Chain A
Amino acid sequence: MSDAMIELILSSTLDTLYMVGISGLISALAGIPLGVLLYVTRPRQFLALPILNHLLGVITNIGRSIPFIILMVAIIPFTRMIVGSSIGLNAAVVPLTIAAIPFVARLVEGALNEISPGLIEAAQSMGATPWQIIMKVLLPEARGGIITGLTITVVTLVSYSAMAGAVGGGGLGDLGIRYGYNRFEPTIMLITVAILVVMVQGFQSLGDYLVRRSDHK
């Protein structure tokens, strides 16, 4: 294999990591608060706001029901507005992030569901403010579940990034399609897939490790 080819594989790997990293980070930063909001504004919760809760729920569901490939195309004007272009790595990050936010939010909400309501009640009996309940009780208690959710999200983003790459984003998916499929180079295809498998394994192992470390149940 030529040096140029090796370099191409390497840079494609970095491109994938870049897309997954940035979209993973932003979707976590937006998705975790959204998930918390979905949980604490439920009826009978300590910040019950049923109308807002319903609204957020509907928006989240819409976000999750649009197939990624359609979302990617549909939000092109928005993507162009944010990053100034509809092709390239940064342009791929926008739909990836938009797709991942509601995904993260629902997983975080699910992790919060696992917390015994008694803990919230105990915190309230100690005079905790809603913000303190979120920061000192909900998030630390759900940490393991949230990390599990983020791991699932990152793994999903790896495969979505391959799709995003196919429409001019770059990364391993793009490489696999262009060289492996279109030019029929099975070695490239195989290497691409192998790197993706290793990457997913790595993210999963890292996630599992972090969950184990934060789990005292």
Chain B
Amino acid sequence: MADRIMIALDNVSKIYGSGQHAITALKDVNLHVPQGDIHGVIGLSGAGKSTLIRCVNLLERPTTGHVSVDDQELTALDRATLNRARHGIGMIFQHFNLLTSRTVFDNVALPLELMRMDKNTIRERVQPLLDLTGLADKADSYPAELSGGQKQRVAIARALASRPKVLLCDEATSALDPQTTSSILGLLEDINRRLGLTILLITHEMEVVKSICHRVSLISDGELVEEAEVGDFFTSPRTHLARRFINDFLEIEPPQSLLDHLQNDPTPGSHPVLRLAYSGDEISTPLISRLARACDIDISILEAKVESIRHRTLGLMIAELVGPPEKTREALAYLEDHDLTVEVLGHVRRHD
């Protein structure tokens, strides 16, 4: 059960136009998402994320390739059967796409009306969803009266109404502020755990991948260039693009006052300033205090950031090694021995 594939994209390509004006939006994409997984696809804008997620429920029909959801090959279905299959695939959008003419309750009821359910069944289904998404007191409100976060909650309730097995999230938090984003992500994670829903999401935000995804694919120019478990992705990215995403996400810069005094070469009485990157297990060993003891130096931490990503730890630190030159050289060697990524930013003289 655990490894049953819920979403399968096989050799999917999408080409817009033809001849000289043809634009390839997706190039030979293969993606398999097991049941119960939260899979993220991250990429810069224009990389093909939107086209990719729209190919899953055939809002965009792939030019070539096969798409299957829940062991049903969607690309082989006729219109009517496809519409029925779509009841098993929920979708939420960046701009929510709620009907302004309907109340919250009626928005959530829409997919059930489309499935021609009777009024009583609809009421029985909608009410628990409003409770789940924390909208019970908003049932009779119109979308215009709601905040962005509440609108996305309505959209989530609506997407879940038909009891789908798969939820597609198209930049679902990109229009929301950071606080609302984390509450929506929390809701999605909760739904994933409670209902065993398989979630495929696209985003350009590492924060989203970091906080809820199990696996992640990196898309660039319509191609999936990297796929990994999220912890691996952050700690040992394989492509240049992945490293760029991670650096932008974690980047810490030395304070300006330090940069002003930084010189390229050591001078008598100066100390090296380092950027350290560490991941995985190193963090659990008390590396810094051991280093201080082993090499008999002082370590001044100027800036540090530690991210915990799916049971892994990833850290970046800017530190100054204070001690005689032979001792600080020893310390550098010690750090490199322990598989830390060490970069000497420069040297600084203490004024005291």
With A and B bound together, what is the CA distance between A143 and B59 in angstroms?
A: 26
Query: What's the nearest-Cβ distance from chain A to residue B106, in Å?
Result: 10
- A122-B93, A216-B142, A217-B144 in contact; A129/B100 too (CB < 8 A)? no
**CB of B69 to closest CB in A, whole Å:** 12
Residue B83 is within 8 A (CB to CB) of chain A in the complex: yes
**Docked-complex contact A141 and B99, CB < 8 angstroms:** yes
Please encode chain A, from 119 to 146, with 1 for each CB lying within 8 Å of some chain B CB and 0 for all others.
1011111111100100011001101000
- A125: chain B residues within 8 A (beta carbon): 57, 59, 86, 89-91, 168
Contact partners of B99 in chain A: CB under 8 A: 119, 137, 140-141
- Residue A11 at the B interface, CB < 8 A? no
How far does the alpha carbon of A217 sit from the alpha carbon of B102 in the complex, in Å? 10
Of the candidates B84, B90, B113, B158, the one having the most CB atoms from chain A within 10 angstroms of its own CB is B113
In contact, B100 and A217 (Cβ under 8 angstroms)? yes
Query: Are A140 and B91 CB-contacts (below 8 A) given A125-B59, A216-B142?
Result: no
Q: How far is the CB of A16 from chain B (nearest CB, A)?
A: 33
A133 to chain B, nearest CB (A): 9
Q: Which residue of A has the minimal Cβ distance to B79?
A: A129
**Cβ contact within 8 Å between A119 and B144:** no
Residues of chain A within 8 A (CB-CB) of B91 are: 122, 125-126
When each residue 325-343 of chain B gets 1 if its CB lies under 8 Å from chain A and 0 otherwise, what string results?
A: 0000000000000000000
Query: Number of contacting residues on B, CB 8 A?
Result: 30
A182 at interface, CB cutoff 8 A:
no
Secondary structure at the A interface, as helix, strand, loop or mixed, is helix
Q: Give the distance in Å from the alpha carbon of A194 to the alpha carbon of B269 in the complex.
A: 99
Specify the main secondary structure of chain B where it touches its partner: mixed
In the complex, the answer to whether A127 meets B114 with C-beta atoms within 8 Å is yes
Which residue on B lies nearest to A129, using beta carbons? B83
State A121–B60 Cα separation when bound (angstroms): 10
- Among the interface residues B80, B85, B100, which one has the most CB atoms of the partner chain A within 10 A? B100
B111 is an interface residue with CB less than 8 A from chain A: yes
Q: Is B162 an interface residue (CB 8 A)?
A: yes
B97 touching A126, Cβ below 8 Å: no
Q: Which residues of B contact A126 (CB under 8 A)?
A: 86-87, 91, 110-111, 114, 158, 162
Q: Are A141 and B57 in touch, CB under 8 angstroms?
A: no
Closest beta carbon of chain A to B122's beta carbon, Å: 13
Q: Are B59 and A124 in contact (CB under 8 A)?
A: yes
Q: Which of B85, B95, B102, B144 contacts A127 (CB 8 A)?
A: B85
CB of A118 within 8 A of chain B? yes
User: Interface residues, chain A, CB within 8 Å of chain B?
Assistant: 116, 118-119, 121-129, 132, 136-137, 140-141, 143, 214, 216-217
Q: 30 A-B residue contacts at CB 8 Å?
A: A116-B97, A118-B95, A119-B99, A121-B59, A121-B97, A122-B93, A122-B97, A123-B110, A123-B114, A124-B59, A125-B57, A125-B86, A125-B168, A126-B87, A126-B114, A126-B158, A127-B82, A127-B84, A127-B85, A127-B87, A127-B111, A127-B114, A128-B114, A129-B80, A140-B99, A140-B101, A141-B101, A143-B101, A216-B143, A216-B144
Chain B contacts to A: CB under 8 angstroms = 57, 59, 80, 82-87, 89-91, 93, 95, 97, 99-102, 110-111, 113-115, 142-144, 158, 162, 168
A-B contacts besides A127-B87, A129-B80, 17 pairs, CB < 8 Å = A118-B93, A118-B95, A118-B97, A119-B99, A121-B97, A122-B91, A122-B97, A125-B91, A126-B87, A126-B158, A127-B162, A129-B114, A136-B110, A137-B99, A140-B101, A216-B100, A217-B144
